[in-house]
Structure 1
Amino acid sequence: MPAVAPAATAQPTQPAEPDPHALLLAAVQAGRHGEAASIAAAWEGEALRVYGMRSSQVVHWMEVRADLARLADEPGRSCELWIAVAHARIARGEAPSDEDVEAAVDRAHHQFEQVRDPDRARGHAAGLTALREQVPGRRPGALDAIKRRLDTLSDPARKA
């Protein structure tokens, strides 16, 4: 019978799966946005199972999903996910002034501005406004910009 190495000296094995980011990129480049979103959601689910809901790994996959929604020209979904990323980062103890928190809110705001469906945009406005009150960002006027967008949604004759 061959000797078995003790667990303490066993060499870690490399994962057999290819880099999921490469798979995502290939799917996006081929226009398979749904497939890319499913892959990212599966990796997020695994990160949640292994590392827990406040882990950096889960936040990473949330960010990937938000960016994939942007690439799929789904600004409403992207906005929603960036809002969730900002909340997740704050829940992890990151300060509202942290660069990554500000970036998540800025991306949510940018995607909010791209939402073409007025009802969907209005649906994101309250959550984004609450975040902007907590995370104003480095450029003044973000809260006013949300209000102006809501005004234009209420009166389509007005242009921002």
Structure 2
Amino acid sequence: MATGAIALAGYTALSEKARPAISTPMYSVLCSAVCTVELLILCLATGTPLFTFSGDTWLALLGLLIFPQLLGLFSLNFVLGRAPATSVSVLLLLEAPVAAFIAWLWLDQLPDGSTWPGLAVIMLGVAWVVVADARRADPMTRDAGGTRDPAPLAQHPPVTSHSAPGGDTHTRVLREAYAGRFTEAEATVRELESQAIRAHGVKSPQATHWTEVRAAVARIAGDHALAARLWLTAARFHSSLQHPNLHMTRVCLDHAFHEWGNVADADAVGALAPVLREMYAKYPFHRPEAIDALDRRLRRMALHPTSP
């Protein structure tokens, strides 16, 4: 059991790295093919029969193929392309409570009394981790109207500022923006961006983080075109690294697409569309519907769809 747990942990961790560059169907086929070859070798090495099973056993194997393998593994691979491996691993602990619930509905079987405390602890633990992750990933993004940004800001080590003693610098910047003090917020961000550039260089994650913060401030100010351009700048940075950060590329690109959807000026819409299309074309398995959505909006605004 311990070996299986270690293998699953390794699978989720490695899949998180590999999935952004490979489609879910292709990744599932590759994983299933590798597992099939490994299982065949193991059966041949141990002399395990491959076909001499009873009818009931074949039905059970078919059920295992359809539900845990095809449906379960495909769903797992799909999620690993869009969520951190740590969160997925924690959510997998819900297998036991869900299995108990299905057994109760389908087989009219209930766990014995000693099992209930363990199931309750699992569900409480999963809920705790999910809520904590959501709070860490989406800090101080509630605006005056009570809505939230569509995705979290990139998480980099915060750059401290002598002009902002005490408290969290990001909280201060966004509080100024939500209060309408955009000049002060922009000045703070540019000062912190300059510090990051001096300490780490222009093309560094620390400096790019403040580009992302500027994009958030532009969104609050209602300048969706500027916000889209800044998110595209950040997306290009993350994709141009020696080891591209595909997760952050997708996050920034989706931010840019969201802001572009709120741009009202036709000229700005038309100018940003080719850049968005170019970026999404580089990652055809991420939001494959995005390019069609771009063209539909351009047609609605009587603009020519962007070329490939």
The residue that corresponds to 2:288 in the other structure is: 140
Q: 1:58 aligns with which of 201, 204, 207?
A: 207
The CA deviation at 1:88 is 1.0
The residue that corresponds to 2:221 in the other structure is: 72
Q: Determine the C-alpha separation between the residues in 1 that align with 2:297 and 2:250.
A: 20
Q: 1:25 aligns with which of 162, 170, 174?
A: 174
Q: Determine the C-alpha separation between the residues in 1 that align with 2:256 and 2:235.
A: 9
The residue that corresponds to 2:186 in the other structure is: 37
> Which stretch of the first structure deviates more once superposed, 139-148 or 113-122?
139-148
> Which stretch of the first structure deviates more once superposed, 42-51 or 61-70?
42-51
- Which structure carries more relative contact order (alpha carbon 8 Å, separation 6+)? 1
Q: Determine the C-alpha separation between the residues in 2 that align with 1:131 and 1:94.
A: 17
Contact 1:40 1:64 in 2 (8 A): yes
Where does 1:6-21 land on structure 2 (aligned, <5 Å)? 16=162, 17-18=164-165, 19-21=168-170
The CA deviation at 1:118 is 0.5
Contact 1:52 1:58 in 2 (8 A): yes
Q: 2:242 aligns with which of 88, 93, 96?
A: 93
What TM-score, normalized to structure 2? 0.43
The runs of 5 or more residues in structure 1 that have no matched partner are: 1-13, 156-160
Contact 2:161 2:192 in 1 (8 A): no
Aligned residue pairs total 141
The CA deviation at 1:72 is 1.2
Q: Determine the C-alpha separation between the residues in 1 that align with 2:185 and 2:161.
A: 20
| 2:266 is aligned with 1:112 | no
Q: Determine the C-alpha separation between the residues in 1 that align with 2:235 and 2:207.
A: 13
What TM-score, normalized to structure 1? 0.79
| 2:232 is aligned with 1:83 | yes
| 2:154 is aligned with 1:154 | no
The share of aligned pairs that are identical, in percent, is: 31
The CA deviation at 1:23 is 2.5
**Amino acid paired to 1:56:** P
The CA deviation at 1:137 is 5.7
Q: Determine the C-alpha separation between the residues in 2 that align with 1:153 and 1:35.
A: 35
